[in-house]
Structure 1
Amino acid sequence: MKKLLLIDASNLLFRSYYATAYTGNLMQNKEGVYTNGIFGFAHAMIKLIDNGYTHILVALDPKGKTHRHLEYKEYKGTRKDTPPELIMQFPLMEEYLDALGVYYYQQDLYEADDIIGYMSKHYKEKFDEVTIYSNDHDLMQLLDTNVKQMVSRKGLKDVEIFTPEYLKEKMGVSPKQITDYKGLVGDASDNIPGVPGVGNKTAVKLLTQYNTIDNLYQHIDEVKGKLKEKLELNKEKAIFSKKLATIETDFDNTIDFNKTEYLGYNQEKLIDFYTRLGLYSFIKNMKIEKENKKQDDFIVIKNPAEIRVILGNECFMHLEYFGKNYHDASPLGFALIFSEISYYIPFDIAINSDAFIKFLQSEKIKKYVFDLKALTVILRWNNIIIKGIEYDLLLAAYLTSSSVNQDEFRDVCELYHYHDVDFEDNIYGKGAKYHLPEDKIHIKHAIDKVSAIKNTYEDALEKIKEFNQEDLLYNVEIPLAKVLSDMEYIGININPKSLEEFGLDLKQKIDETEQLIYDLSGEEFNISSPKQLGVILFEKMQLPVYKKTKTGYSTDISVLSKLKPFSPIIDLIIGYRTYTKLYSTYVEGLKSSLTLKDDNKIHTIYQQALTKTGRLSSKEPNLQNIPIKNEEGRALRKVFEASDGFVLLSFDYSQIELRVLAELGDVKNLIKAFKNNKDIHEETAKLIFKKDNISRKERSIAKAVNFSIIYGKTPWGLSEDLNISLAKAKEFINNYFASYEEIKVLIDKNIAFAKENGYVKTHFNRIIHINEIKAKNYQTREFGKRIAMNAPIQGTAADILKIAMVKIKDEFIKHNIKSKMILQIHDEIVLDVVKEEEKLVTEIVSNTMMNAVDFNVNLLANYSSGKNLYEVK
């Protein structure tokens, strides 16, 4: 059965975009590329293709004006401008269709409707069935005995199929009468006027009696009253509206019918597309075609005595475990490859073999793994210290592709076009269905993983060499992973009593603030509900409305900040949100985390392969976001304590990013100020205000300008931050660049490099991809430029901290130091220090941080000590 599918591309992409856009939570990949429209588009395309169409054509609207605009300049004039977040997804749609193997066609002056009309008229006789997929009612004029239209209500779960008979039943008109119908009622979405005052029922009644507009006007004297008057007065509008609504089915074109035959997708291109956009769920549902090659057999070791025979001096290795948090996960077994032979050793057998324990602990036996940090921590919890790890696939992949999905082994392999390993969800399930499968399934999965480590090894190293990242991999990231594994295993002490007291104090503040809000508002309501809060503030209390969303009034922090002068209730609401967030995220979150090992310690997981710039983040729990901007947040730090007989030491780089900026740009005035230990913000103020005596306010402005450059803020953003005019913000930034000319040169150089290569580099060759820099949309390109400005600075600062952490560990080993690094937050390193070692540790860490890298700019590390984190910061 031959079936032709004709798809209105813009209609589908717009609907896909707005299906989620109304929530305000637009999907983005790690590079900041918006993907919510393309996600819905791809989902629909896959569902449609599954219906067995033999031929498919996707019709695109032209990039410029249409022939209808030439006849009627107000055509579609009432439509709002297309959001830039959607505009940037149109080229993605074309790229997706190429990978999907679906033919698409676009022609100047002619709309998608016209292309579909041409195909429908000229090729319907070749097919048993022609289906038009669109919600545009104009296309219903094309319906015929074998031409139907599929209209979706909720994706493809709820569709309405229009045939000529169903159209007549539903709307009271035939396909041939659709243009006449539009001529009478018009079309607000296309700004087609029609006859003012003629609605659906009147139009249907007239067409039932007279069939066409032409025939109606031939019998206009039969129409009575005001209706006749309206029709006569607007005759030209009616006839012209019908013409505008009529789809062109005969025009010169270069449509290649042979390309409409659907022969399937390009697996490699499609997987690459999904991977770059972070649409991993589509890859999971693909029927991956495996290469026709013999899979290596593997041997399952069933006795500890057998292990000694297989061990060699070098191997690829993977430890498979079951559990979302590897601190308390269940290790299942080791998959290993020695001399091209694959083995699987169940964990209980492996750890009962002295030979295998010695193998794991041997520095001389080289081991090539995936996620050495997780492997090291799991073994530490089983009293085994692994050594000899030379290579980590996860870290190698992260360095060359910062958008890698670190939580999915398969996605990492996809970077090297390797598909012979399944997704974790397919093996273990997810959510309520997360479970341990039968042995043969997870054993085969472990073998597939170790094979992937081996088979991608050469490609991964080739990419590392291509970007000159050997030093970054072998001397920074891999040693750092070992440092972080120690920190995770050691953990940081929590005082349960202090945490309980902090929680009780917060609870009291929540209750008191809640009551004050009720008193000021005059009634009780759900303060955490934006909808109810909006009614109280803007309807009952009549406060100024600054922003509305599709769901009601906006009560986000930007709105509340503007409302502060109008009522004391605003400060209370902001306070209430702070207290409740602290309680739910930290009090309850930390209590939950303490049950992990029941040792009164927090054992976080550092996410080393997550951020684009190389900064560390953490989870389970997230210790990177411990608040310090308000007293309540700072008070939380009191619960993090030193071990008995120890003291906490905190070291952090002073103005590290400004120093990096000075170094990367060789900024003479900045370097001079840093070398002379000047107040850098005051020195900047002197330059941009062109005077020597600087007020506190002027210093604050200079500080904001300094950091606006680092974080790539626009003049508009700076004006918002400082509550000054846009012109004044531009003046400050222009004066800044005039004073630090080298910074402007550095920024322009980075932007030019990013435009040419699609990425920027840190001082240490970390690659930060910027897909936005080549986007067709102006706003997206500007966003890419801002990333190009600040990413090398932030990334270099992150690299310096990592290098320092690695060198500190080396120094501790050299001096036999018992004190330990236990926490890393932003630019801060926290250590649990034996009191007798405090002086020596302070000297070692300070000197190491200040001399971590060979820079012209002097690096400065501040430090403080105390019994808890509150005292050291």
Structure 2
Amino acid sequence: MSKVVTVIDTFGFFFRSFYALPQHLKNKDGFPTGLLTGFTNFISTLQKQHDSDYLIFAIDSKGDTFRNEIDSNYKANRQAPPEELAMQLPIAIDWIDKMGYKTLGYSGFEADDIIATVVKHARERDYTVRIVSHDKDLYQLIDDGRVVVVDAIKKKVMDEDACFSKYGVTPKQFIDYQSILGDSADNVPGVRGIGKVGAEKLLKEFGSLESIYENVHLINGANKKKLLESKESAFMSKELVSLRDDVLDELDFEEYKMDVEHPFLNIYDELVKYEQNAVIRALKAKDILTDEIEKKANAKLANDKKESKKLDFHATLITDAKELKSVLKSLTPQTVVAFDTETTGLEYNKDSIVGFSFCFNDKEAFYVPFAHSYLGMAAQVSKEDAADAIKQIFKSKVVGHNIKFDLHFISKLLSEDTFEVYADSMILAWLINPESALSLDKLSHKLLGHTMISFKESVKKGETFASVELEDATLYAAEDAFITLKLFHLFNQSLKLQDAEHLIAESMEVEVPFITTLLHMEQVGIRVDGSFLEKFLVEIKETLARLTKSIYTQAGSEFNINSPKQLGVILFEHLGLKTGKKTKTGYSTDEKVLRSLKDAHEIIPMLLEYREVYKLFSTYIEPLLKLSKEHEDSRVHTSFIQTGTATGRLSSKNPNLQNIPARSQLGLRIREAFVASDGNKLIGIDYSQIELRLLAHFSQDKVLVDSFKADKDIHYQTAVVLFGEDEAKSKRGVAKTVNFGLLYGMGQKKLSDTLGITTKEAKDIIEKYFESFSTVKSYFRSIVELSKTKGYIETLLGRRRYFDYENATPMFKAAYERESVNSVFQGSAADIIKLAMNKIAKVIRDEKLEAKMLLQIHDELIFEVKESEAESLAKRFQEIMQDIYELNIPLKADVNIGDNWGELK
């Protein structure tokens, strides 16, 4: 009887196993176990069947393969696995070896090539091969009676009949079938425009790809044109999908004998840890589980639990300068060191650093206090020794979690403002999933199953970290550094497993330098004219008083205008205005409701104006005036949040300077309060229609591309297309709304509300737009389709935003479709301005220019420069912004120079 070889498409099987089993499976520590459960089930099945003589786990090699030399885009857009899968993969791979089995991989080749090579060597020996995989790429290897593909999850066998029944082609034709069809998941282009039915018909008639092209003159209609246009990509696709069976000259199958009698005994302690209870019950039922194995496993688990309580590392307090220097001798320029500070508060302008922690291995983390202060406190290192130690640490590869915060404090301590940073684990977490929780404690709990010591547990109410006893402070602070290092290594591994290694490079080349760029902007701040704000405040209070009096008159009584509940009663009970149904908390009186009632009563316009004015008063004028008085130079310092949005746009807080109103006259006047210092000017440089330019770049729409290349007014050109030459000038504003609205997923209802037209008119405009810009419509559709097939979109620099269509309601699916399109353009625009900011910041720093970058407001940058150099530096910075990234249409930036922000428009 012929021997049987079982060869596993290892990563493919693990992925399939993970998605097939309930993804909520976790052990009591919260660690996901679905993939591990699928793996142990599979090994159990193999053991029961005993129908295989050899077992080979084929694995992919790290890095590029020969296919990337054929086409650099190959597999450039592979779907990233979720974090729960990435966490389990290393454990499952480790189990293969521990159980007594072997993996087989070879540099420069994929697991599929390894499988094809195993098949070749097996056939030479007349062995039968079972390929365990769900991957159709392997169907080309099917050979009835000798080679079959098995779906281990569905327990289905794919032979020649099954292949033909499902795809209408034989396994021998499968390479040609894939060459025509292509594969969007792997970036295999195929023949554009020919789908499954077309490919099947062509192969049925002509047999092979070569024969199709030899007889292409006999093919009629659109298919002939499509084939001729895609001939080069069709044959390149054939190279990409053809599996190599010559990876190994020799293969000794005896090394892969499936003669491990009880593989699970070798990993019993881990089966208990990850609660693989079905396997454990089976082992106990077979009576092969000895007391000694159980005893050892329980002892190891108890020790792990004990270690876990100790955070699985030693927290070491250093209060002696000699000891500190001795520890630091272990560091080299290549050592990765996690670093964290402990401070008296969160405001670097007011608070100070009291100590720092660091960690460079998985056994020990250190805390160095130097400014704690409480009764009976022991010795600490001096401030000077602490400063020297920090300088020494920053000669290594420093990793932090939200390290910009720490840099503010050490910059004050060391009187330096530029530090080499290697990575930020918070940024890596954001790059993996920009919509996940990013705090250190939440990531620790979710990904490491470890609950960190809380700040409230360590610091008594009303006190600061300086009052925490050193032993307690050490446990808290050292844990921060230890967990940061753990997460850093985990995230790097996750990005590699997600086939998103390019994001590690993006982090190092763009995001980490951006930390320093933002740090300097926050430190510089922007000057506020307090006297202007004080006068404006008087004016605003008078306006509020006047509006309040008029509203009371219209209402017939006095009430709290800022109380939605009281306002609801006045509007819908006292005045009897029509409204929707009443909720538990009262009537809705939000802006949308008020705007719908705009013509129903004279009180409504007054209320809308009151709300706008009151928001300016409470959100901007009063807080800005207060902040400006806190500093002698009257400069306000915001905090920029690099990881605050899913698209990559910056946000800011304390105060939020990116949402200062720009549409109303009152809102615009607030901008006049932001001024240049004496002898200086403000420069505003604003990217012109950057998202529309990106649309032209990505979609290659001829009208858009030609308009931008000729530097035409794109909104006027759109108006010409939509409404004709005669109406174009008057309808330019409508065209502008349509141009930007469609980028943000605006539908006919929103467009009709925005323009004040009927939904039918809005529908007609949208239809006309997409008829005229058909390339744009197809490009939007392609983004949505890719977001569904891959589960994410990518920006210009390869940052990803994920969309869980599988578990979404219809409402959320529609939102995902809109957001997928919006994210490509907003995210890519964010990429470009980030690159420009880094480049300008470097120029300012390297050349010691008398210029400061102050603010970024989405597509606009604001600088403060010496008045005598304003013109020349404005031109130079404009050129950097316009040349920072080469699109197939020119980037354009507009320049304005003035004494205050209000003059920059």
TM-score, normalised with respect to structure 1? 0.63
Other-structure match for 2:831: 799
Change (3 A) 1:607 1:815: same
- SS of 2:313's partner is coil
- SS of 2:725's partner is coil
**Which of residues 677, 698, 702 in structure 1 aligns to 2:735?**
702
- SS of 1:650's partner is strand
Structure-2 separation of matches of 1:412 and 1:347: 29
Change (3 A) 1:540 1:469: same
- SS of 2:686's partner is strand
**Which of residues 677, 680, 693 in structure 2 aligns to 1:659?**
693
Cα distance, 1:647 vs structure 2: 1.0
Matches within 5 A, 1:95-110: none
Change (3 A) 1:389 1:415: farther
Other-structure match for 2:365: 342
Other-structure match for 1:449: 480
Other-structure match for 1:36: none
Asked whether the equivalents of residues 367 and 389 of structure 1 are also in contact (C-alpha less than 8 Å), the reply is yes
AA aligned opposite 1:570: I
- SS of 2:341's partner is strand
Change (3 A) 1:793 1:362: same
Other-structure match for 1:731: 764
Give per-residue Cα distances to partners, 1:307-343, cap 9 Å, x unaligned.
3333233333221234244443442311123566532
**Which of residues 653, 671, 677 in structure 2 aligns to 1:619?**
653
Other-structure match for 2:267: none
Other-structure match for 2:353: 331
**Which of residues 739, 745, 748 in structure 2 aligns to 1:712?**
745
Other-structure match for 1:275: none
Other-structure match for 1:866: 898
Q: Which moved more, 1:495-504 or 1:537-546?
A: 537-546
2:839 aligned with 1:822: no
2:880 aligned with 1:857: no
Q: Which moved more, 1:592-601 or 1:466-475?
A: 592-601
2:343 aligned with 1:321: yes
Asked whether the equivalents of residues 674 and 900 of structure 2 are also in contact (C-alpha less than 8 Å), the reply is yes
Cα distance, 1:838 vs structure 2: 1.1
Other-structure match for 2:316: 299
- SS of 1:553's partner is coil
Cα distance, 1:416 vs structure 2: 4.0
Asked whether the equivalents of residues 344 and 464 of structure 2 are also in contact (C-alpha less than 8 Å), the reply is no
Other-structure match for 1:196: none
**Which of residues 775, 783, 807 in structure 2 aligns to 1:775?**
807
- SS of 1:565's partner is coil
CA RMSD in angstroms comes to 3.2
AA aligned opposite 2:782: K
AA aligned opposite 1:309: S
Matches within 5 A, 1:217-296: 291=308, 295-296=312-313
Give per-residue Cα distances to partners, 1:542-587, cap 9 Å, x unaligned.
4444665444433222222233334433222111111111111112
**Which of residues 325, 330, 336 in structure 2 aligns to 1:308?**
325
- SS of 2:659's partner is coil
- SS of 2:367's partner is strand
Which stretches of structure 1, 4 residues or more, deviate above 6 A after TM superposition?
Answer: 264-268, 429-435
2:553 aligned with 1:527: no
Structure-2 separation of matches of 1:401 and 1:415: 13
Other-structure match for 1:213: none
Structure-2 separation of matches of 1:425 and 1:609: 25
Matches within 5 A, 1:372-771: 372-382=403-413, 383-385=415-417, 387-406=419-438, 408-414=439-445, 416-417=447-448, 419=450, 421-428=452-459, 437-465=468-496, 466-467=499-500, 468-545=502-579, 548-594=582-628, 597=631, 599-689=633-723, 691-771=724-804
Structure-2 separation of matches of 1:551 and 1:356: 55
Asked whether the equivalents of residues 362 and 386 of structure 1 are also in contact (C-alpha less than 8 Å), the reply is no
Give per-residue Cα distances to partners, 1:249-280, cap 9 Å, x unaligned.
xxxxxxxxxxxxxxx99899xxxxxxxxxxxx
Asked whether the equivalents of residues 361 and 384 of structure 1 are also in contact (C-alpha less than 8 Å), the reply is no
Structure-2 separation of matches of 1:596 and 1:347: 28
Change (3 A) 1:423 1:712: farther
Aligned residues: 592
AA aligned opposite 2:479: D
Q: Any unmatched runs of 5+ in structure 1? A: 1-45, 47-263, 269-287
- SS of 2:722's partner is helix
Structure-2 separation of matches of 1:587 and 1:361: 44
Structure-2 separation of matches of 1:436 and 1:746: 60
Structure-2 separation of matches of 1:786 and 1:806: 30
- SS of 1:513's partner is helix
Change (3 A) 1:582 1:358: same
Structure-1 separation of matches of 2:549 and 2:604: 14
Change (3 A) 1:635 1:762: same
Change (3 A) 1:347 1:804: farther
Structure-2 separation of matches of 1:718 and 1:796: 24
Other-structure match for 2:45: none
Q: Which moved more, 1:720-729 or 1:699-708?
A: 720-729
AA aligned opposite 2:703: N
Percent same amino acid at aligned positions? 32
Structure-1 separation of matches of 2:430 and 2:381: 30
Structure-2 separation of matches of 1:415 and 1:842: 47
Asked whether the equivalents of residues 650 and 872 of structure 1 are also in contact (C-alpha less than 8 Å), the reply is yes
Cα distance, 1:604 vs structure 2: 1.1
Structure-1 separation of matches of 2:456 and 2:883: 45
Change (3 A) 1:724 1:546: farther
- SS of 2:797's partner is coil
Other-structure match for 2:154: none
AA aligned opposite 2:590: D
**Which of residues 827, 831, 842 in structure 2 aligns to 1:810?**
842
Asked whether the equivalents of residues 373 and 482 of structure 1 are also in contact (C-alpha less than 8 Å), the reply is yes
Structure-2 separation of matches of 1:568 and 1:555: 16
Change (3 A) 1:409 1:596: farther
Change (3 A) 1:266 1:849: same
Change (3 A) 1:335 1:676: same
Change (3 A) 1:355 1:580: closer
Change (3 A) 1:696 1:542: farther
AA aligned opposite 1:421: M
Asked whether the equivalents of residues 870 and 897 of structure 2 are also in contact (C-alpha less than 8 Å), the reply is no
Asked whether the equivalents of residues 418 and 452 of structure 1 are also in contact (C-alpha less than 8 Å), the reply is no
Structure-2 separation of matches of 1:432 and 1:778: 50
- SS of 1:367's partner is strand
Structure-1 separation of matches of 2:597 and 2:390: 66
Cα distance, 1:415 vs structure 2: 5.8
Cα distance, 1:779 vs structure 2: 1.5
Cα distance, 1:695 vs structure 2: 4.4
Give per-residue Cα distances to partners, 1:684-711, cap 9 Å, x unaligned.
122223x222245522222222122111
Cα distance, 1:791 vs structure 2: 0.9
AA aligned opposite 1:822: L
Asked whether the equivalents of residues 522 and 638 of structure 2 are also in contact (C-alpha less than 8 Å), the reply is yes
Change (3 A) 1:734 1:802: same
Other-structure match for 2:822: 790
Matches within 5 A, 1:60-71: none
TM-score, normalised with respect to structure 2? 0.61
AA aligned opposite 1:297: H
Change (3 A) 1:347 1:735: farther
Asked whether the equivalents of residues 368 and 453 of structure 1 are also in contact (C-alpha less than 8 Å), the reply is yes
Cα distance, 1:635 vs structure 2: 1.0
AA aligned opposite 1:376: L
Cα distance, 1:482 vs structure 2: 0.4
- SS of 2:312's partner is coil
AA aligned opposite 2:397: K
Other-structure match for 2:156: none
